[in-house]
């Protein structure tokens, strides 16, 4: 039977849902190695800056004496070139989110290679509740992540991807997350789904006046 030491077990890869533990391990190893590196070799002597027996640099020029002129090659002025100015592309509101990778988001490329039409069919089928807290958290991060949305086909209906995501968040009872996503979504009056969600969420938060204003 092969026995695994605690040190070997610590180096095993952590699941993606535990990025904080991997970071904690790296910090621990760094701090643990710090004193050992600072002590240097046995005997307490200072670490040598050059290997023993290393020859002195023979080709190095002697230092300049005070007042002595030193030839400095002129700096070539290449000017500013290679700069192109163009129009910024319009941001796709469907790509918006409140979680980036540093906040637990799943990455800007999480939809890479995904067919938009299939995604529009699958998102409404996400369950509103999960028995597993881990799956619940994964679904929440999926819906809140800022990521490049799949390109809409020429003949595809203009269904709001961000609207479907907000609708699922509302079904999960995440009123706070819904409000944050609505704040970065297009104006509700431009999308029937967003308008309905805006009114429902205002009522859920007890903001009757905001719901009436639409």
| Structural domain boundaries, residue 117 | 93-151+158-213
Distance CA 85, CA 206 (A): 48
In a domain, 180, yes or no: yes
Q: 57-85 burial string, b = 16+ CB within 10 Å, else e?
A: eeeeeeeeeeeeeeeeeeeeeeeeeeeee
Q: Which residue has the higher pLDDT, 203 or 162?
A: 162
In a domain, 42, yes or no: no
In a domain, 2, yes or no: no
Identify which of 117, 170, 123 has the alpha carbon closest to the alpha carbon of residue 142.
123
Domain count, the chain: 1
In a domain, 125, yes or no: yes
Token pair in block for residue 146: 């800022």
In a domain, 102, yes or no: yes
Dump pLDDT digits (tens) for 17-30: 433 332 333 333 33
Q: What band does 199 get if pLDDT is binned at 50, 70 and 90?
A: confident
Write the DSSP string, 76-112. P---S-S----PPPPPPGGG--SB-GGGT---TTTTT
In a domain, 84, yes or no: no
Residue 9 above 50 pLDDT?
A: no
In a domain, 76, yes or no: no
pLDDT at 22: 28
In a domain, 38, yes or no: no
pLDDT at 155: 57
Distance CA 71, CA 67 (A): 13
Quick one: three-class SS letters along 134-179? HHHHHHHHHHHECCCCCCCCCCCCCCCHHHHHHHHHHHCCCHHHHH
State the residue for tokens 């699958």. Answer: 122
Confirm if 70 and 64 have CB atoms less than 8 A apart.
yes
pLDDT at 212: 63
């Amino acid at each position: 039977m092969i026995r695994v030491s605690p040190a070997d077990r610590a180096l095993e890869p952590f699941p993606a849902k535990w990025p904080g533990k991997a970071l904690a391990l790296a910090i621990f190893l760094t701090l643990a190695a710090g004193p050992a590196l600072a002590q240097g070799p046995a005997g307490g002597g200072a670490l040598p800056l050059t290997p023993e027996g290393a020859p002195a640099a023979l080709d190095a020029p002697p230092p300049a004496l005070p007042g002595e002129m030193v030839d400095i090659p002129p700096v070539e002025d290449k000017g500013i070139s290679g700069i192109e100015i163009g129009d910024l592309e319009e941001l796709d509101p469907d790509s918006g989110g409140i979680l980036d990778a540093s906040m637990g988001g799943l990455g800007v490329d999480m939809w890479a290679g995904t067919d938009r039409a299939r995604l529009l069919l699958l998102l409404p089928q996400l369950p509103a509740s999960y028995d597993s807290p881990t799956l619940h958290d994964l679904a929440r991060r999926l819906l809140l992540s800022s990521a490049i949305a799949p390109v809409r086909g020429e003949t595809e209906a203009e269904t709001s991807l961000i609207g479907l995501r907000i609708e699922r968040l509302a079904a999960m009872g995440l009123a706070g997350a819904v409000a944050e996503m609505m704040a970065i979504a297009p104006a509700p009056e431009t999308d029937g789904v967003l308008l309905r969600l805006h009114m429902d969420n205002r009522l859920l938060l007890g903001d009757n006046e905001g719901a009436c204003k639409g």
